[in-house]
């Protein structure tokens, strides 16, 4: 129950932040990514603001062995920088720049632009199933315990 309450509260903060920052506005995203002519640099400050909190916070968390709830920090494995990572990131960026949505903002846009958001999210879920249809192994479960 506490797990759900914390996840819900974090989600509310996250979604409110996406809306307040206008990261959820696809035209704002396109105006940030399109560097030709008039350029809107605002969204660089979204990432900057998020890192200004998360980076020192993570450094502080490293000294703890476990979260408030649960036994371990679930952190992604320190894997290789391989073609799958870079190719995936390249495709993701292309999709991001073609409509102005990444996953979080698309969910936030359900509340003010449901037509586009539903279409985008349905296509995104379908796109996420393609590797499995092609027989590629899943990497979703590749996690390791965090050790200090």
Partner 1 sequence: MPAPFAAIVDFTPATALAGGLLIGLAALLLLAGIGRIAGISGMVHGLVAGEGGGWRLSFLLGLVAGAGLYVTLWPADLPARQGFPTLMVVVAGLLVGLGTRLGSGCTSGHGVCGIGRLSPRSLAATAVFMATGVIAAVVLRHGLGIGP
Enumerate residues 86-115 that contact partner 1 by CB under 8 A: 86-104, 106-115
> In this chain, which of 14, 63, 135, 148 binds partner 1, going by CB under 8 A?
14
Contact 146, 58 (CB under 8 A): no
What tokens were used for 145? Answer: 């315990």
The reply to whether 20 sits near partner 1 by the rule CB under 8 A is yes
Nearest to 24 by CA among 119, 124, 107: 107
- Told to check if 144 binds partner 1 by CB under 8 A, we report no
CA distances from 117 to 58, 107, 129, 136, 138 (A): 32, 7, 18, 28, 26
Q: Under rule CB under 8 A, which residues in 48-87 are in contact with partner 1?
A: 48-55, 57-58, 61, 64, 66-70, 72-76, 78-81, 84-87
Among 38, 137, 147, 148, which residue interacts with partner 1 (rule: CB under 8 A)? Answer: 38
Of the candidates 121, 137, 147, 148, which one interacts with partner 1 according to CB under 8 A?
121
User: Taking the complex as a whole, how short is the minimal distance between the CB of residue 65 and partner 1, in angstroms?
Assistant: 11
Residue written as tokens 């936030």? 108
Backbone CA torsion sign across 11, 105, 75, 33: negative
């Amino acid at each position: 129950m506490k797990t759900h309450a914390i996840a819900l509260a974090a989600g509310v903060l996250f979604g409110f932040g996406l809306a307040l920052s206008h990261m959820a506005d696809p035209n704002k995203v396109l105006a940030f990514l399109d560097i030709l002519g008039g350029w809107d640099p605002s969204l660089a400050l979204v990432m900057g603001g998020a890192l200004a909190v998360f980076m020192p916070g993570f450094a502080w968390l490293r000294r703890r062995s476990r979260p408030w709830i649960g036994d371990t920090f679930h952190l992604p494995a320190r894997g290789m920088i391989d073609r799958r990572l870079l190719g995936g990131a390249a495709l993701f960026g292309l999709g991001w720049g073609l409509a102005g949505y990444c996953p979080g903002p698309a969910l936030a846009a359900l509340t003010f632009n449901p037509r586009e958001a539903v279409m985008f999210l349905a296509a995104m879920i379908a796109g996420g199933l393609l590797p499995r249809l092609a027989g590629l192994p899943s990497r979703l479960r590749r996690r390791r315990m965090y050790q200090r």
